């Protein structure tokens, strides 16, 4: 007996420990790592993403802002961003969306004709609804392709879900006390009325001998017994009641809500953010991914076409940031509350970190080494049909101004450590 008890204790301990181990892993996100690397490195590059809070209570609001660059070397497999909806990725409606904007234009509906190679700025205001700990991302959904998810940050929501409230006032003056419950009691009432009538009709028939006796009587051509004159009269009444009640309900609703509008469709348009004057020309040479070293090495020729010296401060791809730790302006560009797991611990290795003088062309090799390539499941580009990589380079001038350039091209795997 004691052995059985011990065995049960052991099993329960393993279950509890297993559950705790599972709890410790960030498994409550929603599949952003499942997206193919070519998709995450060559479509929307998210930058300057901020979350206004990391802890809030139900009914408090969080503002998520940032920008994204639609990468010029857009993958063939992804539909061009001709119809795009700006959204947020959370595990279900745990946050209520209050407002959202793209380049300052309200983003309640989809946008049309976004341009690759250009930048857009978004803002979304979310109100905490369900207590818990959630991964909150900005996201754009592209018609024909699906969602492109930006970096996520864990947000803790406290309080109780019952306290959540979202009230509105209609243009026609009706006060909507709570968007979660508005109109539900009316729907339940009408559905109950119809269910009662239907149940009465069914009971009228099933209270009598039902299947076998009716089948046998019908075989003996005694249909007259099965549907009587009373039944037919009741059928007429039911027909009149069904039609009458349907149109009575319709007229009741029309008089109660005389001003209604159809669902709103259509798309919005906003021009992209103004183009920054280009300060560098990038000529991609090669890129290799060192599988055992978890390192992406890229060689490029950089020509400074501005009138100020420049230094490379950051390489960003798939929301992972490789920052040049030797450049204070680049380090300052990383917000303190940016998710640490998305900032490479070792930073960005640069073969020649000296300034690129105006007019100078310099060959630079960058070394982006971090376990994030594996953790974020970005290494499967080695088995992709479109084995190319892309990203953004952030250059900084002596005044600390940031200049963004795109870089990318084919990538080769290296399976033996060099």
Partner 1 sequence: MSPNSREILAVSELPPEGAKLSRIWDWCVVAAVALLFMGAIHLHVMLTVGDWDMFIDWKDRQFWVLVTPVSMLMIPAALQAVFWHYFRLPIGMTLGAVLLLIATWITRYVGWHLWGYFPFTMGVPATMIAGALACDAILLIVRSSLLTSTFGGFVFALLFYPSNWASLAPYFIPIEHQGMVASVADMIGYVFPRSGTPEYIRMIERGTLRTYEGTTVWISSFFAGVICIFMHMLWWRIGLAFSTQRFVDSSKRFKKFVGLA
Chain residues 301-340 in contact with partner 1, contact rule CB under 8 A = none
Q: Please tell me what DSSP assigns to residue 393.
A: E
> How many C-beta atoms surround the C-beta of residue 244 within 10 A?
10
Per CB under 8 A, 190 contacts partner 1? yes
> Please, which residues bridge with residue 362 across strands?
302
* Member of 41, 43, 110, 319 binding partner 1 (CB under 8 A): 110
Among 147, 154, 141, residue whose Cα is nearest residue 34: 147
**Helices (DSSP H) in 25-162: which residue ranges?**
37-41
* Member of 18, 26, 106, 398 binding partner 1 (CB under 8 A): 106
Among 289, 236, 258, 262, residue whose Cα is nearest residue 410: 289
| Residues 75 to 94 in contact with partner 1, rule: CB under 8 A | 83, 85, 87-90, 92-94
Give 128 or 279: the residue with its C-beta nearer to partner 1.
Answer: 128
Max Cα separation, the chain?
104
Helix, coil or strand: residue 157: strand
Among 328, 325, 337, 306, residue whose Cα is nearest residue 404: 306
Give 6 or 108: the residue with its C-beta nearer to partner 1.
Answer: 108
* Member of 20, 21, 23, 169 binding partner 1 (CB under 8 A): 169
Q: Which stretch binds partner 1 (CB under 8 A): 61-69, 222-230, 376-384, 393-401?
A: 222-230
* One character per residue 24-53, x = contact with partner 1 (rule: CB under 8 A): ------x-----------------------
- In whole angstroms, the minimum distance from the beta carbon of 108 to partner 1 comes to 5
* Member of 194, 283, 357, 412 binding partner 1 (CB under 8 A): 194
Q: How far apart are CA 286 and CA 369, in angstroms?
A: 16
Per CB under 8 A, 378 contacts partner 1? no
Per CB under 8 A, 143 contacts partner 1? yes
**In this structure, are strands 83-89 and 132-142 parallel, antiparallel, or unpaired?**
antiparallel
- In whole angstroms, the minimum distance from the beta carbon of 159 to partner 1 comes to 15
Q: Which stretch binds partner 1 (CB under 8 A): 41-49, 206-214, 310-318, 330-338?
A: 206-214
Per DSSP, the residues of 20-58 read HHHHHS-TTS-SGGGS-HHHHHSSEEEEEEEES-SEEET
Q: Which stretch binds partner 1 (CB under 8 A): 256-264, 332-340, 341-349, 370-378?
A: 256-264
Phi, psi (deg, nearest 5) at residue 303: -110, 125
Q: Please tell me what DSSP assigns to residue 164.
A: -
Give 19 or 186: the residue with its C-beta nearer to partner 1.
Answer: 186
Per CB under 8 A, 180 contacts partner 1? yes
Q: Which stretch binds partner 1 (CB under 8 A): 252-260, 348-356, 364-372, 407-415?
A: 252-260
* Member of 8, 28, 247, 269 binding partner 1 (CB under 8 A): 247
Give 170 or 371: the residue with its C-beta nearer to partner 1.
Answer: 170
Judge whether 140 and 87 are in contact, CB under 8 Å. Answer: yes
Q: Which stretch binds partner 1 (CB under 8 A): 229-237, 298-306, 363-371, 395-403?
A: 229-237
Q: How far apart are CA 340 and CA 54, in angstroms?
A: 13
**Sequence-distant (≥ 6) Cβ neighbours of residue 415 within 8 angstroms:** 291, 292
CA 189 to chain centre: 36
């Amino acid at each position: 007996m004691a052995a059985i008890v011990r065995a049960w204790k052991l099993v329960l301990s393993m279950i509890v420990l297993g559950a705790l181990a599972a709890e410790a892993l960030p498994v409550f996100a929603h599949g952003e790592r499942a997206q193919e690397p070519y998709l995450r490195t060559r479509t929307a590059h998210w930058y300057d993403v901020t979350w206004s809070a990391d802890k809030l209570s139900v009914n408090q609001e969080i503002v998520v802002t940032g920008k994204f660059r639609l990468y010029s070397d857009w993958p063939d497999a992804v539909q061009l961003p001709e119809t795009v909806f700006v959204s947020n990725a959370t595990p279900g409606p745990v946050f209520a969306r209050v407002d959202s904007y793209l380049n300052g234009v309200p983003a309640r509906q989809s946008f049309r004709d976004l341009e690759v190679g250009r930048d857009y700025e978004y803002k979304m205001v979310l109100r905490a609804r369900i207590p818990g700990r959630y991964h909150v991302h900005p996201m754009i959904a592209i018609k024909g392709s699906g969602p492109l998810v930006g970096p996520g940050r864990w947000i803790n929501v406290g309080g109780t879900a019952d306290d959540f409230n979202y009230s509105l006032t209609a243009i026609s003056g009706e006060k909507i006390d709570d968007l979660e419950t508005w109109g539900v009691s009316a729907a339940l009432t009408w559905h109950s009325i119809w269910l009662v009538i239907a149940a009465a009709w069914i009971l009228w028939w099933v209270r009598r001998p039902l299947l076998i006796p009716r089948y046998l009587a019908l075989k003996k051509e005694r249909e007259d017994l099965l549907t009587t004159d009373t039944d037919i009269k009741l059928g007429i009444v039911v027909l009149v009641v069904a039609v009458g009640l349907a149109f009575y309900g319709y007229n009741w609703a029309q008089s109660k809500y005389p001003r209604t509008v159809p669902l709103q469709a259509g798309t919005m348009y906003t021009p992209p953010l103004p183009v920054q004057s280009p300060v560098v020309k990038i000529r991609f040479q090669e890129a290799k991914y060192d599988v055992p070293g978890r390192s992406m090495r890229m060689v490029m020729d950089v020509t400074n076409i501005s009138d100020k010296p420049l230094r490379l401060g950051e390489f960003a791809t798939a929301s992972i940031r490789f920052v040049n730790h030797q450049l204070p302006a680049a380090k300052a560009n990383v917000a303190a509350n940016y998710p640490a797991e998305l900032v490479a611990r070792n930073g960005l290795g640069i073969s020649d970190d000296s300034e690129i003088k105006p007019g100078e062309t310099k060959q630079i090799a960058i070394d982006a080494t971090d376990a994030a390539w594996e953790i974020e499941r970005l290494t499967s580009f080695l088995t992709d049909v479109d084995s190319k990589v892309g990203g953004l380079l952030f250059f900084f001038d002596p005044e600390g101004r940031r200049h963004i350039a795109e870089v990318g091209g084919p990538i080769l795997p290296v399976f033996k450590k060099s």
